[in-house]
A and B are shown apart, each in its own frame.
Chain A
């Protein structure tokens, strides 16, 4: 496995046990979706993998190197990209500057890679001089992803990339994400649009109350009757202590 987290435990200073022993993995070229009820600890798990939070136990391996507990800078340098759920662009910097911030480890490549990003996402080229804070929600998600790709990561963590997007925009973004994985990246994605996310994913993990509830091929998870009832059918019954 290119990216593998095992027995991950951790949380926040005020709530130390949010993630209570989670295993996550994605191989090169693989798209793995994480679903689970609100408050299950999905975002927290990604923060633990990315180094924004320090795990109190467990391992995070990227290309064979154990990086658990290292700083986010060290993980980024090792080839991990992370697009957080919120505040995932520098709102007061221009689009062009945001892309450059994605390329701090290879500043000489910034020009060429920005040009590639503009070719892939023409909307960004149009807005290159605008502050990122002026972009719409969907445009922001594109910029956040393009910025993460500027570093040419080996593995990418995405936290709810389609949150707040129109169904059409979400559909396009899913196609882009599928393409990114096809290019050979290991992609771990948390999603609320579970049905559509599972359709394009290779594998899936269901997190409930800080633990793995179910792992398997995406099609099998999508077909699991319990999962269908809990996450895919509607929002009337969400399990877990934080359920609403």
Chain B
């Protein structure tokens, strides 16, 4: 029972860390209409930016997280407009494959620059906080706080600002948005910056939770993808719900299965959900 409760808490932590990049991935999919598989490497790039700021420049963790956001956002924009945009003319499938390739290049650039060894953030040593049978690290708790804050900020941007409304309008109906005067290039640029930035925050938070290496982002790529698909590709609330479902299921599976089966569990969840709801939990049927 205690193990179950602890695992549930771990799942909630994992889910909230997964939800941030899943939001970014889903937002990019909703507006640009292709799955950007470079987000794993972009998350890593953001995390290394944050690590450099923290360990190299002594930036406190909240500042480092913000830098992770900006670095990944800029890298995402560079990747989109230097490489992927050109592939767009050949169709969304080409862009998806191209993003996979660019992601590998980026990952190896990072490996070349920083090496393969593990990096750790400069964190004060602190005791776990204990709630009855459940324990949680203070940094984990802070990371969940960052994740919730990032999600809330993104939600507020989408629902309260006119640029956010235009983004939703493009996701809903790109031609009508153009007829109303929305510049699709500007909206794509902002979406990629914010979406990739959220992935950078996710990568940083995961790096804070354990340690950082060139595969930090790549390891979560498939879980992020699973979360977005389960929630309904392109659905913003869906990405969050999907992330918690995947996070909790992956942690729960560790009670019974070896960690190597985590991803298999995620994909079993995809299989189950899509069998009953082909558009995902909160997705709209493709029209």
B-binding residues in A (CB < 8 A): 50, 52, 71-73, 76-77, 82, 84, 87-93, 97, 100-102, 104-105, 107, 147, 151
* B211: Cβ under 8 A from any A Cβ: no
Question: B172 near A104 (CB under 8 angstroms)?
Answer: no
Question: B168 near A93 (CB under 8 angstroms)?
Answer: yes
Question: A88 near B176 (CB under 8 angstroms)?
Answer: yes
Question: B172 near A84 (CB under 8 angstroms)?
Answer: no
A50 to B176, CA, bound (A): 11
Chain B residues within 8 Å of A105, by CB: 181
* B263: Cβ under 8 A from any A Cβ: no
> Which of A52, A84, A100 sits near B162, CB closer than 8 Å?
A100
A71 to B181, CA, bound (A): 9
Chain A residues within 8 Å of B284, by CB: 92
Chain A residues within 8 Å of B169, by CB: 90, 93, 101
Question: B172 near A93 (CB under 8 angstroms)?
Answer: yes
> Which of A52, A89, A93 sits near B165, CB closer than 8 Å?
A93
Task: List the 4 shortest-distance A-B pairs measured between CB atoms, nearest first.
Answer: A72-B178, A104-B181, A90-B172, A76-B181
Whether A73 touches B175, Cβ cut-off 8 Å, given contacts A93-B168, A107-B162, is no
Question: B175 near A84 (CB under 8 angstroms)?
Answer: yes
State the main secondary structure of chain B at its contact with A: helix
> Which of A52, A93, A97, A107 sits near B179, CB closer than 8 Å?
A52
Chain B residue nearest to A47 (CB atoms) is: B175
A166 to B178, CA, bound (A): 30
Chain B residues within 8 Å of A52, by CB: 175, 178-179
Count of B residues near A, CB < 8 Å? 18
CB distance from B119 to the nearest CB of A (A): 42
> Which of B166, B171, B175, B183 sits near A101, CB closer than 8 Å?
B166
A102 to B180, CA, bound (A): 6
14 pairs across A/B with beta carbons < 8 Å? A72-B175, A76-B179, A77-B181, A84-B179, A87-B175, A92-B284, A93-B168, A93-B169, A93-B172, A101-B182, A102-B180, A104-B166, A104-B181, A104-B182
CB distance from A121 to the nearest CB of B (A): 18
CB distance from A80 to the nearest CB of B (A): 9
Chain A residues within 8 Å of B177, by CB: 90, 101
CB distance from B168 to the nearest CB of A (A): 6
* Residue of B168, B180, B183 with most partner-chain A CB within 10 A: B180
Question: A71 near B175 (CB under 8 angstroms)?
Answer: no
A72 to B179, CA, bound (A): 5
Whether A90 touches B181, Cβ cut-off 8 Å, given contacts A100-B162, A101-B165, A101-B169, is no
Chain B residues within 8 Å of A100, by CB: 162, 165
> Which of B165, B176, B182, B183 sits near A87, CB closer than 8 Å?
B176
A73 to B34, CA, bound (A): 24
CB distance from A200 to the nearest CB of B (A): 25
Question: A90 near B176 (CB under 8 angstroms)?
Answer: yes
Question: B182 near A73 (CB under 8 angstroms)?
Answer: yes
A73 to B168, CA, bound (A): 17
Chain A residues within 8 Å of B165, by CB: 93, 97, 100-101
Question: B172 near A91 (CB under 8 angstroms)?
Answer: yes
Query: Please, what's the 1-or-0 string for B52-69, where 1 marks a CB less than 8 Å from any CB in chain A?
Result: 000000000000000000
Chain B residue nearest to A83 (CB atoms) is: B179
Chain A residues within 8 Å of B275, by CB: none
A82 to B181, CA, bound (A): 11
Question: A82 near B162 (CB under 8 angstroms)?
Answer: no
A151 to B182, CA, bound (A): 13
A72 to B183, CA, bound (A): 9
Chain A residues within 8 Å of B175, by CB: 52, 72, 84, 87
Question: A84 near B176 (CB under 8 angstroms)?
Answer: yes
CB distance from B273 to the nearest CB of A (A): 21
CB distance from A78 to the nearest CB of B (A): 11
A90 to B175, CA, bound (A): 10
* Residue of B168, B169, B171, B176 with most partner-chain A CB within 10 A: B176
CB distance from A76 to the nearest CB of B (A): 5
Chain A residues within 8 Å of B171, by CB: 92
Chain A residues within 8 Å of B162, by CB: 100, 104, 107
Whether A73 touches B181, Cβ cut-off 8 Å, given contacts A101-B166, A104-B166, is yes
A88 to B175, CA, bound (A): 9
Chain A residues within 8 Å of B166, by CB: 101, 104
New contact pairs (4) apart from A82-B179, A101-B165, A104-B162, CB-CB < 8 Å: A76-B180, A89-B173, A92-B172, A101-B182
